[in-house]
Amino acid sequence: MSDAAANGNTLRWGLDATIESLSARERLLNAARACYEHKGIAKTTMEDIAREAGVTRRTVYRHFGSHSEVLSGVVQREANRFWAELQQHLPPVESFQAFILEALIYTLKHAPQTPTHSFLFNQNILPLVNEMYLNSRGFIEQRVEILRPVYERFNPGGELDLVMVTEWLDRIMVSYLATPSPFFRSEDELRKLFRTMLLPVFS
C-alpha cells in the first residue's frame, strides 16, 4: 500500500471514529433524557442511562466524566433545539427590541407545554436548569453567540453588550417560568409589561 493510500485510510478511519463517537454521544443523551422523563433526574443513575442506551456503564463514562456532564449535555442540546424552533415560529419583526419581546413571550407561553422541550421546564428540574443557565459562563457565552447574528442583522456595527443582555434576559425568563406573576399572566398582559419595562432599555 502506498504512503498516500495509507494516509487516506488513516484519515478515513479517524473520521469514522469521530462520527461513531458523535453518534454514541447522541444515543447516550437520548437515553439520559428518556430516563429523566421516566424516573426524574435525582433518581437517574449512570447505570440507568447505560441500560437505556443498551451499553455498559464504562461506555457512558468514556463519553461523559460524570452525571452532571450528561445533564449539562442534555439541557444544552434541548435548549438549542428550542431556540431553533422559536426562531421558526416568531412573527416577522423590524427591530432587535421587537425580537426580544416576541422571543420572551413565545418562551413563556410555549416552553412549559411543548412536548419535546417541556422537560427543560418541569418544576422538578427547573432549579438545576436555572443553576446551569445563570451560573455557567460557558452557557451564557454560547447563547450570546446564538443571539449575536440576530442583533447584527438589525444593528450592524452596534456596540450593545450582549453578555449583559443575555444574562439579564435569562434571569427574567427563569423568574417568570419558575414563579408566574399574579398580575401579568396572559399574553397581552405580559406583552404590555415587557413593552413598558423592557424595551426602553434598548432604545
Point out the domain boundary residue: 19, 36, 65. 65
* Average pLDDT estimate for 91-117: 85
Check whether residue 41 and residue 91 sit in a common domain.
Answer: no
The C-alpha atoms of residue 72 and residue 139 are separated, in whole angstroms, by 9
In the structure, what pLDDT confidence band is assigned to residue 46 with cuts at 50, 70 and 90? very high
- The CATH number covering residue 20 comes to 1.10.10.60
The C-alpha atoms of residue 22 and residue 7 are separated, in whole angstroms, by 23
Check whether residue 114 and residue 22 sit in a common domain.
Answer: no
Check whether residue 45 and residue 83 sit in a common domain.
Answer: no
CA atoms lying within 13 Å on the CB side of residue 82: 25
pTM summary value: 0.74
pLDDT for 18 equals 40
How does pLDDT run across 146-198, given as a tens digit for each residue?
Answer: 899 999 999 998 889 999 999 888 888 888 887 889 999 899 999 999 999 88
**Number of structural domains found in the chain:** 2
Residue that the C-alpha cell 412573527 belongs to: 91
